[in-house]
Homo-oligomer: A and B are copies of this chain.
Amino acid sequence: MPRRVRATVEYDGTDFAGFQIQRSGIRTVQGELEAALARLSDGVRRAVDGAGRTDTGVHASGQVIAFTYAGPADDLELETALNGLLPPDLAVRGVRRASPEFHPRRAARYREYRYTVWNGPRSPLRERQALGVRVPLDVAAMARAGQAFIGRHDFSAFGKVVGDRTPIRTVHAVRVRRTGALVTIDVRADAFLRGMVRRIVAVLLEVGRGAMTEDEIREALAARIPARNGAAAPARGLCLRRVALGRGRAETLDDRNVTETDEGR
């Protein structure tokens, strides 16, 4: 009897051409997951759905997927078997049964991304998961400017609308913090336009360098004209940390170091 299964997925996005499956020969997260799953399902290939289509080079510690599985393994056996087949830069955890109609994109109440900046001398050990910025950033100014994004806005100036969908999104929280040379920018929204976090980060970095003001951000947002020609921060600093499912809890940004998927039950 086939059952619907969901899981949390973590990946180092460096060597993936994003989440979404593409033509064969292009290495994607979805492609690797579907291939591993097919090997556990007598070669029958089924779709793996994800909550967020992360771009090329973007990481995830809390992506959520779902798929239909018809084999004999229980949840824990399935998780172990999948991890045994997946490459070192991709893993699943928290495999469990979901309701038959569960789809992570539709079930997602909000998504939370973290952008990591190393605001110090070049650091090879952080090279894969942070953007290096040498000039000292004014984190307090960035934190203030980040508030301009909060609320329900037409984000046309800060992302691509795919298909005929609305460019309106609701940003719940933007938090900018420094710990030594480490600067993190957390952004939470009900959903994001394509490239939206990286464009928000790009202008916040301009503010941090003293090259842009909060007013300019508000103007770009209101006029729906891309600021700085739509510049986006590099993918390697970005990580999808959390997909909150189901009904709400208190809407505060997650403070845990390792973000698990909100169970929302």
Contact = CB atoms under 8 A, between A and B. Distances in A.
Contact of A179 (B11, B88, B257): B257
B125 A61 contact: yes
Given A12-B127, A89-B127, A127-B89, A122 B258 contact: no
Contacts of A54: none
A34 interface: no
A91 B12 contact: no
Contacts of A128: 12, 128
Q: Interface residue tally of chain A, by bracket? A: 20 to 34
Nearest to A8: B121
Contacts of A89: 124, 127
A93 interface: yes
Given A12-B127, A127-B12, A91 B122 contact: yes
A261 B129 CA distance: 24
Interface string A245-260: 0000000000001100
A257 B61 contact: no
A191 B93 CA distance: 41
A11 B124 CA distance: 5
A73 to B, nearest CB: 17
Nearest to A61: B125
23 contacts: A10-B122, A10-B123, A10-B124, A10-B125, A11-B124, A12-B127, A12-B128, A59-B125, A61-B125, A88-B127, A89-B124, A89-B127, A90-B124, A91-B122, A91-B123, A91-B124, A93-B121, A120-B258, A125-B129, A128-B128, A180-B257, A181-B258, A182-B257
